[in-house]
Structure 1
Amino acid sequence: MEQITSSYILDYLKNNEIHLASTHAKLCTPIIRRMCQKMWYIIRFGEIKLCDDMYVLLDIDGVMVPAQSWKRPEFLQDGFPVFSLKSIQALQKIINKTDATLVLTTSHKSIYSISEWKDIFKLRGISVSALDRLTANDLNLSRKEEILQWYNSGGHSDDQIVIIDDDKSLHALPFDMKQNLVMTSPMVRLTDELADDAISILKAGALAPA
């Protein structure tokens, strides 16, 4: 299967003299790619649903803070590690362009209250208006299991979701959800390019599973 890109789609339409008459203002490359993959593997999918609720499921270590086990991170006065400047700019870009709710998936999520988390982000120059977190992981679930629990128990099937994480276990997410995964490198963290990917996923709309 060829890589589905905007230029590929436009070239195909032009070469085959097909008039583009989009019925969805938010339909874009990520969701088209997802639909093509399902058709390629003969997987039935339901109707496309668009929703105003957007969520960024955000890890911290390996996303905002470099995961360097051999090196002690630098801390600010609140006792929490410094965020990468590029990651700060990338996350703020996502927030500014989507107004999405941040949902913290990090293992640190239950250590601080929502108010304290907002202060942590504010001290690092990130303006967050809507912030939430996964419930305490008392059952020692994997990150994949935690996210699936949040997704299934919270009625989020019609919501627009992007998962930003460096946890490799998330590659085992169900097909539909894996298309909403932006995997970071623990050393490189969240970049401007990955922020653009996250924004595209959020603006693509929710694809209801069959």
Structure 2
Amino acid sequence: MKKVLILDLDGVLITTPPWKSDTIHIDGYSDFNQNCVSNLNKLFEYADFEIWLSSTRRLRKTLSEFNQIFRNRKIQKEISGFLPVYENCKNRREEVLRFLLDYHINDFIILDDDKSLNSLKDEVKQKLILTELTIGFNSEKLKEALAKLK
């Protein structure tokens, strides 16, 4: 299996403050921050990833619909799949850990703004790039991600 990118959307590619409505793209879905998309595409130049979407938005669209949304926003890779919905997981941290265990994934990076991920065990947390909701995957976080790839 290729290197896995566990990707959230809100706070990573969508940086709309919670007190504002999302700006809507011409395809009817939320716009992505263009700088964050550019940084994500730069990350893809350094490693070949399978993208697994962890965002709760994965519950509202199909994989095909999300891949069209990614193409419309000029993201250079398609999504391989969604993290499964585990009934007994209470937060993103539990979902990610279960996914890594169930799919036997060792080579990965997590892009997310979910603070529950701060309590990951060190060997998993060292592969986390924790973004900020209204800033997203900026150039500083890209540098952090590239450092973790080495």
Look up the equivalent residue of 2:17 and give its one-letter code.
Q
Matched ranges for 1:13-162 at <5 A: 53-129=2-78, 131-139=80-88, 141-157=90-106, 160-162=107-109
The alignment-based identity, stated in percent, is 26
Look up the equivalent residue of 1:161 and give its one-letter code.
F
Q: Aligned in 2, Cα 1:184/1:124: closer, same or farther, shift over 3 Å?
A: same
Say if 1:110 and 1:135, in contact at 8 Å, map to a contact too: no
Q: Distance in 2 between matches of 1:78 and 1:137?
A: 30
The DSSP-based 3-state class of the residue aligned with 2:81 is strand
TM-score, normalised relative to structure 2: 0.91
Aligned match of 1:192:
139
Q: What is the Cα-based RMSD across aligned positions, in Å?
A: 1.6
Look up the equivalent residue of 1:192 and give its one-letter code.
S
Q: Distance in 2 between matches of 1:67 and 1:75?
A: 11
Answer with 1 or 2: which has the greater Rg.
Answer: 1
Look up the equivalent residue of 1:103 and give its one-letter code.
W
The superposition leaves residues 57-109 of structure 1 with CA deviations (integer Å, 9 ceiling, x where unpaired) of 11100111114121111011333210001101011111222121111110011
TM-score, normalised relative to structure 1: 0.67
Q: Distance in 1 between matches of 2:111 and 2:61?
A: 20
The DSSP-based 3-state class of the residue aligned with 1:182 is strand
How far 1:130 moved relative to its partner?
Answer: 5.1
Count of residue pairs the alignment pairs up = 150
Q: Aligned in 2, Cα 1:150/1:61: closer, same or farther, shift over 3 Å?
A: same
Q: Distance in 2 between matches of 1:130 and 1:189?
A: 19
Look up the equivalent residue of 1:107 and give its one-letter code.
T
How far 1:199 moved relative to its partner?
Answer: 2.6
How far 1:176 moved relative to its partner?
Answer: 0.4
How far 1:137 moved relative to its partner?
Answer: 4.4
Q: Aligned in 2, Cα 1:108/1:193: closer, same or farther, shift over 3 Å?
A: same
Aligned match of 1:28:
none
Q: Distance in 2 between matches of 1:104 and 1:168?
A: 17
The DSSP-based 3-state class of the residue aligned with 1:109 is helix
Look up the equivalent residue of 2:22 and give its one-letter code.
P
Q: Aligned in 2, Cα 1:93/1:145: closer, same or farther, shift over 3 Å?
A: same
Instruction: Note the residue ranges of structure 1 that are not aligned, 5 or more in a row.
Output: 1-51, 205-210
Q: Distance in 2 between matches of 1:73 and 1:137?
A: 28
